[in-house]
Amino acid sequence: MSGYNLKAKHVLITGASSGIGRELSRCFAMEGAHCVLSAHPSEISALEELSGELERSYGVKTWRFGVDLADEGGPKKLYDEVKARVPVIDLLVNDAGLMVYGDFHETDINRQLRLVHVNISALMTLMHFFLKDMTARGEGRILNVSSVSAFQPTAHHAVYGASKAFVQSISEAVNEEVRRSGVRVFTLNPSYTKTPLIKGGDFPERLWWYAVSGLADPAMIARKGVRALKKGKTLYIPGFKNWIIHILLPRLSTRKIINFFSYHALKSRP
């Protein structure tokens, strides 16, 4: 199947300054897509470096937008600024995300609320505005970067897992609503991946779970994610092992067992 052709499409990627978002941007540019790169304003120099690389290496056009998606008006500001400068967005990639590790009652509630704004409210708002344009045109794609954390509660980063369950649920429901209009909503569901989100933040260096899952390479996640998008896979978990762990095993088990296992496997080890 030749699938969805990205050549000359305009792709808006949030969270393009690092990790999976930066690698996805490289993959889209490699496919000939024009890249509309967005990140927090403090990361504008990282976006400038990336856009120079993409233009030189792949001859595509790029735009850069530094917007804080945790601000209440941030997502609408990004939408308005993009609409004013870019002719059309064919594919919206909601990649920006935050993680807070620690037992819920001990964490800083303001950081958790910031996570909710970025992982949930911003994604939902951008999806809402761009979907209106896409359904009116009768074409378009949305790719939401979810996680394997969407499929079961995640002790010790409870709000993060809950935010990804939200992303999963809204993506699948809205995909059903819009599919007859020619628009599709996809999720990419990586397992733990070596990025600043879990390397360099407050995420523990040692988890029992790493012995099972390992740590994925963001470039590999992006390559496989783009291939899945092109093939039309609306839910894609990179790695067959991860599909067994997160889709098959929960169906064969009880929630009590899953939650007990999650508590111990995701607990920080000294």
Ligand X SMILES: NC(=O)c1ccc[n+]([C@@H]2O[C@H](COP(=O)([O-])OP(=O)(O)OC[C@H]3O[C@@H](n4cnc5c(N)ncnc54)[C@H](OP(=O)(O)O)[C@@H]3O)[C@@H](O)[C@H]2O)c1
Which burial class, exposed, middle or buried, applies to 105 when counting CB atoms under 10 A from its CB (0-12, 13-18, 19+)? exposed
For residues 117 to 146, the per-residue mask of contacts with ligand X, x marking binding by CB under 6 A and - elsewhere, is -x--------------------------x-
Place of tokens 């819920």: 104
Nearer to ligand X, 190 or 239 (CB): 190
Q: Out of 9, 34, 40, 246, which residue is the one contacting ligand X (CB under 6 A)?
A: 40
Minimum CB separation of residue 174 from ligand X in Å reads 17
Q: Out of 25, 95, 184, 237, which residue is the one contacting ligand X (CB under 6 A)?
A: 95
The total of other beta-carbon atoms located within 10 Å of residue 43's CB is: 18
Distance from C-alpha of 75 to C-alpha of 72, rounded to nearest angstrom: 8
Find the helix packing angle between 158-178 and 123-137, rounded to 10°: 10
- Cα angle 112, 243, 31; round to 5: 80
Place of tokens 């499409």: 9
Whole-angstrom CA distances from 78 to 60, 130, 240 are 21, 11, 36
Q: Which stretch binds ligand X (CB under 6 A): 34-42, 81-89, 103-111, 135-143?
A: 34-42
- Would you count residue 147 as binding ligand X (CB under 6 A)? yes
H/E element, 12? strand 10-13
Could you give phi then psi for residue 239, rounded to 5 degrees? 95, 120
The β-bridge relationship of strands 183-188 and 140-145 is parallel
Q: Out of 6, 10, 12, 18, which residue is the one contacting ligand X (CB under 6 A)?
A: 18
The total of other beta-carbon atoms located within 10 Å of residue 41's CB is: 11
Q: Out of 6, 10, 19, 152, which residue is the one contacting ligand X (CB under 6 A)?
A: 19
Minimum CB separation of residue 110 from ligand X in Å reads 13
Minimum CB separation of residue 14 from ligand X in Å reads 6
Could you give phi then psi for residue 268, rounded to 5 degrees? -65, 135
Q: Which stretch binds ligand X (CB under 6 A): 4-12, 36-44, 100-108, 173-181?
A: 36-44
Q: Which stretch binds ligand X (CB under 6 A): 51-59, 194-202, 204-212, 258-266?
A: 194-202
The footprint of ligand X on residues 221-260 (CB under 6 A) is: none
Distance from C-alpha of 13 to C-alpha of 22, rounded to nearest angstrom: 9
- Would you count residue 192 as binding ligand X (CB under 6 A)? yes
Among all residues, whose Cβ is closest to ligand X?
19
Minimum CB separation of residue 267 from ligand X in Å reads 17
Place of tokens 């996680």: 147
For residues 65 to 84, the per-residue mask of contacts with ligand X, x marking binding by CB under 6 A and - elsewhere, is ---xxx--------------
Q: Which residues bind ligand X (CB under 6 A)?
A: 15, 17-21, 39-40, 42-43, 68-70, 95-98, 118, 145, 147, 190, 192-193, 195-198, 218
